[in-house]
Amino acid sequence: MTDNWQTPQKILVILAHPDDPEFFCGATLARWVRAGHEIHYCLLTCGDKGYEKRDLTPDEICRIRHTEQRAAAAVIGVKNVRFLDLEDGTLTPSIDLRREVVRVIRQEKPDILVTCDPTNLFPSGSYRLNHPDHRYAGQIVLDAVFPAAGNAHFFPELLRDEGLEPHTPREVWVSLTSQPDVTLDVTDTWEIKLRALKEHKSQIGDPIEFEKRMRSRRSPESTEEQPRYEEKFRVLKFS
């Protein structure tokens, strides 16, 4: 198996919003925790626009989504959640944000990094049009991984002023991709994914209808009586 690593791995997930890790690959993350790997999250925004009603301020939404994300991460078994707290909906692949992500990668020194596909404008499934933050987050992270994070000549101030040595993850797993080359059977941890997603109460609407939708996302060849669930990735190997 592609994820049959022989020793415990440190896995860093860098995505745009609270709930992205659970929606994009929560069952895989639960599978990896179950296998003994250590997972950390870094969310670029706090999702302060991810709420349709007008009765809350962005700061109030941000606090709610922090709380929901930490609760969901606890269900998965994630060790730590970090927020950069950039404004929701405003991510751009700037050199400044690339530096911030390089800093996180050099601080955390993950073996495995998880992000999403910057090229996936029209995802399959429930997304009609992919959120620009998803696409730009993937672009920022991939640009940070190569060539910057592992090269001392990129952002030398991180080494000079903060002592952050270059680091390149051994593998990058790209989720929410239309060009997968790895498919994992995550049937055994789909229930964990559902429990984690239900912690995002501000996002899922009616929990009963939400659960019906999520259970319907079984693989085409499986049945309602014997469902099989999959999560797909494009995997990039750097060593």
Any idea what the CATH number is for the domain that residue 226 is in? 3.40.50.10320
CA gap 15, 134 in Å, rounded: 7
pLDDT at 123: 85
Averaged pLDDT score across all residues of the chain: 96
Q: pLDDT value at position 127?
A: 65
For residue 151, what are the domain limits?
A: 10-237
Q: Is residue 173 part of a domain?
A: yes
Around 215, how many Cα atoms within 13 Å sit in the side-chain half-sphere? 13
| Residue 4 domain flag | no
Which pLDDT score is estimated for 126?
61
Residue 199: its pLDDT value, please?
A: 98
For the entire predicted model, the pTM comes to: 0.96
How many structural domains compose the chain? 1
Q: What is the pLDDT of residues 92-118, one digit of tens each?
A: 999 999 999 999 999 999 999 999 999
Cα gap 45→88, rounded to integer Å: 5
Residues of the chain scoring pLDDT < 50 = none
The whole-number pLDDT of residue 225 equals: 93
Distance CA 129, CA 89 (A): 14
